[in-house]
Amino acid sequence: MNLSTTTILIIKTIVLRFLFSPATAQASSCSIKEFPVVRNISELPQDDYELGGLSHITIAGSLMHGMKEIEIWLHTYSPGAHTPIHRHSCEEVFVVLKGSGTLFLASSMHEKYPGKPQEFHIFPNSTFYIPVNDAHQVWNTNDHEDLQVLVIISQPPIRAFVYEDWFMPHAAAKLAFPIPWDARCLEAPFKYEL
Amino acid sequence: MNLSTTTILIIKTIVLRFLFSPATAQASSCSIKEFPVVRNISELPQDDYELGGLSHITIAGSLMHGMKEIEIWLHTYSPGAHTPIHRHSCEEVFVVLKGSGTLFLASSMHEKYPGKPQEFHIFPNSTFYIPVNDAHQVWNTNDHEDLQVLVIISQPPIRAFVYEDWFMPHAAAKLAFPIPWDARCLEAPFKYEL
């Protein structure tokens, strides 16, 4: 191999790494510097983040777009898909755009564990607010249709505490930070616990 | 008129006042104590607040529902309707649900007045963020269709500063607080200036 061939090989390797490196792809979808004022939501990065049945889009985000006080997601849950049981100290409002499902909500922050949750039917053009620190879970219980919701949170990026079940003590719930879409922007691995 | 007739008249007057008093109607739509967890947006109070061509619904509000960090409105502008030129120090994100129009945006908070704004086409399933303190105006420039947007703000209730035109000095912009839907909850008159 002469020098010229070696040089070409090095250049090829660099180009291939640049094109296919996850870090590069992540940086390009998490830049807060270059994005148009008006954006087409259907052209924004969308991913399932290996969460099984969830499609996530950050419409306006802290790490992705430089928001400081509010963050907005578009979540689409396939039939049977659901969030984990979790709580957080930020405010959160849902607006249901399509489909239907069930909100499970345990208002028990003064007890030792969430306990059996209340169930609420959610439907197109409905809205609901999650009281701060209440354990909750959103579930697409409709076998025939995706559930699509806008999710608005305060205090981004979100720090959620995840429960294995409704009877797990509050103190044992595991911190999920950064959550998968923020992990990609931070270029840090997703962790369930500090 | 005997005592009995007088008593009946007084009672009638009290009942009529109770039924038709704007203050009573306002209080009932602004209570933060009694509203269901899941609410049907199409059944929430809707009003034009005499603003000409705007239909406003508070989906989740500070004064109406006890939100502390975020507030969400559903705004429908008839053809030709528009917001005033205004600025505010809270974050604000729009999600366009239906229709189209124009965002006028003057990023000139370091100048003496907004100046000629940039124009951006807004369309269904688009989103845009208003940089903090930038003067802006949203206009339904489509003659044939309503423009419907979700508006998300931080730091509710909103305090906006309103300009008569794009060349009015920032320092002369008039404080609009409370804005009409908050004024109704505060049972205070809408004022354009302190």
Domain chopping of chain B, boundaries = 44-186
A86 is in an annotated binding site: yes
The alpha carbon of residue B173 is apart from the nearest alpha carbon of chain A, in Å, by 24
- Contact across the interface for B38 and A121, Cβ inside 8 Å: yes
**CATH H-level superfamily of B44-186:** Jelly Rolls (2.60.120.10)
Average pLDDT (B159-185) is: 95
- Contact across the interface for B129 and A37, Cβ inside 8 Å: yes
DSSP per residue, B131-156: -TT-EEEEE---TTS-EEEEEEEESS
List the single residue in A37, A59, A150 with the smallest CB-CB distance to B120.
A37
Between CA A26 and CA A43 the distance in angstroms is 16
Is the pLDDT confidence value at B153 over 80? Answer: yes
Q: Give the pLDDT of residue B53.
A: 95
List the single residue in B41, B69, B120 with the smallest CB-CB distance to A91.
B69
| Mutation to test the A interface, candidates B39, B70, B154, most A Cβ within 10 Å | B70
Q: Give the pLDDT of residue A6.
A: 47
Chain B residues closer than 8 Å to A151 by CB:
none
B86 is in an annotated binding site: yes
Is the pLDDT confidence value at B25 over 80? Answer: no
A82 is in an annotated binding site: no
A136 is in an annotated binding site: yes
pTM of the entire predicted model = 0.83
The alpha carbon of residue B189 is apart from the nearest alpha carbon of chain A, in Å, by 29
- Assigned CATH class of A40-186: mainly beta
* A157 cis-preceded (ω within 30 degrees of 0): yes
A54-60 and A70-77: which strand pairing? antiparallel
List the single residue in B67, B90, B121 with the smallest CB-CB distance to A38.
B121
Express each pLDDT in B35-48 by its tens digit: 899 999 999 999 99
Express each pLDDT in A38-73 by its tens digit: 999 999 999 999 888 999 999 999 998 999 999 999
Between CA A189 and CA A70 the distance in angstroms is 23
Q: Give the pLDDT of residue B135.
A: 98
Averaged pLDDT of chain A: 85
**Residue closest to B158 by CA, chosen among B86, B102, B107:** B86
Burial A160-174 (b: 16+ CB within 10 A, else e): bbbbeebebebeebb
| A76, two tokens | 């689409």
> Under 8 Å CB-to-CB from A149, ≥6 apart: which residues?
A74, A75, A77, A94, A95, A96, A97, A138
- Measured between CA atoms, the residue of chain B closest to residue A120 is B38
Is the pLDDT confidence value at A30 over 80? Answer: no
